[in-house]
Amino acid sequence: MTVLRAVLCDMDGTLVDSEKLWDVAMEALYDRLGGVLTPEVRAATVGGCAENTMRIVYDDLGLPPDPAAMAASARWLHDYTGELFDAGLPWCDGAQDLLEALAAAAVPTALVTNTPRMLAERALGSIGRHYFSAVVCGDEVPAGKPAPDPYLRAAQLLELDPRWCLAVEDSPTGAAAAEAAGCPVLVVPNALPVPGGARRHQVTSLRGLGLADLHQICVRLADSQPASAGNPRDPS
């Protein structure tokens, strides 16, 4: 029985160590808006979609929640971050080796990110779009992470049940989204600690993880979910 059918990977902080670049961009946005970014606010925005991030920022700064102004700030933030991305994105430990192994074994792999498409495309120029059978971005679904929509869309594009798609995430926001979609979740914490859970397996990095490890993790997490008539354990 093969349980693992696909791997759904987050981007920022999971595949590439770009959260530090987002730190720089967020600090620049706060400077532009006349405020100072606190660690607490930055932590609240990690892994979030553009709408939620701007809502947090504007509330923190006491600015009127004007949709046009918030959208303009989001565009400025993404343009600024895009310039940082263009200078090169460093891989997270073991991420490229894992993508190479998945590609060599022809395991369907999707990129599932809250980052808007225009910025994700710039990142893919550095990461390599050839690794991915599908790409789902935060501005292409009704609601971004922590809603399950991005992961549900990725599974739909791959024509697979989310229960047999192992999600790889680094943040509480992303892990919550994947879990809500019904995916087993491999958690690789980066900027923030991530709570544990029955459908989550935590590692310190992706270094040394191979296909056999991913299969084993997926099987164990699938077995942790009670079987029912509408939720069989064996997808075959």
DSSP 24-42: HHHHHHHHHHT----HHHH
Give the phi and the psi of residue 181 in degrees, each rounded to 5.
-80, -10
pLDDT category of residue 130 using cuts at 50, 70 and 90: very high
pLDDT category of residue 193 using cuts at 50, 70 and 90: confident
Specify the pLDDT at position 55: 94
Specify the pLDDT at position 18: 85
Tell me: the pLDDT tens digits for 56-110? Answer: 999 999 999 999 999 999 999 989 988 888 888 899 999 999 999 999 999 999 9
Specify the pLDDT at position 2: 53
Looking at the annotation, which residues are catalytic? 10
The DSSP 8-state label assigned to residue 140 in this structure reads: G
Specify the pLDDT at position 232: 41
C-alpha span between 159 and 217 (Å, rounded): 22
Interhelix angle 67-86/117-127, nearest 10 degrees: 10
What pairing do the DSSP bridges indicate for beta strands 134-136 and 109-112? parallel
- Report whether the peptide linkage leading into residue 67 is cis, meaning its omega lies within 30 degrees of zero: no
Give the phi and the psi of residue 111 in degrees, each rounded to 5.
-95, 125
Specify the pLDDT at position 46: 84
Name all domains of the chain by residue range, CATH numbers in brackets. 6-17+90-223 (3.40.50.1000), 18-87 (1.10.150)
C-alpha span between 15 and 90 (Å, rounded): 9
Q: Is 165 helix (H, G, I), strand (E, B) or coil?
A: strand
For the entire predicted model, the pTM comes to 0.81
Tell me: the pLDDT tens digits for 34-64? Answer: 999 999 999 898 877 888 899 999 999 999 9
Specify the pLDDT at position 49: 81
Single out the residue of 90, 93, 92, 99 nearest to residue 210, CA to CA. 99
- The one-letter amino acid at 133: S
Residue carrying the six token digits 């292409």: 140
pLDDT category of residue 19 using cuts at 50, 70 and 90: confident
Across the chain, which distance is largest between two alpha carbons, in Å? Answer: 57
On whether the CB atoms of residues 35 and 61 are closer than 8 A, the answer is: yes
pLDDT category of residue 225 using cuts at 50, 70 and 90: low
Q: What is the mean pLDDT of residues 111-116?
A: 94
Tell me: the pLDDT tens digits for 131-179? Answer: 999 999 999 999 999 999 999 999 999 999 999 999 999 999 999 999 9
Number of H helices, E strands in the chain: 9, 6
Specify the pLDDT at position 229: 32
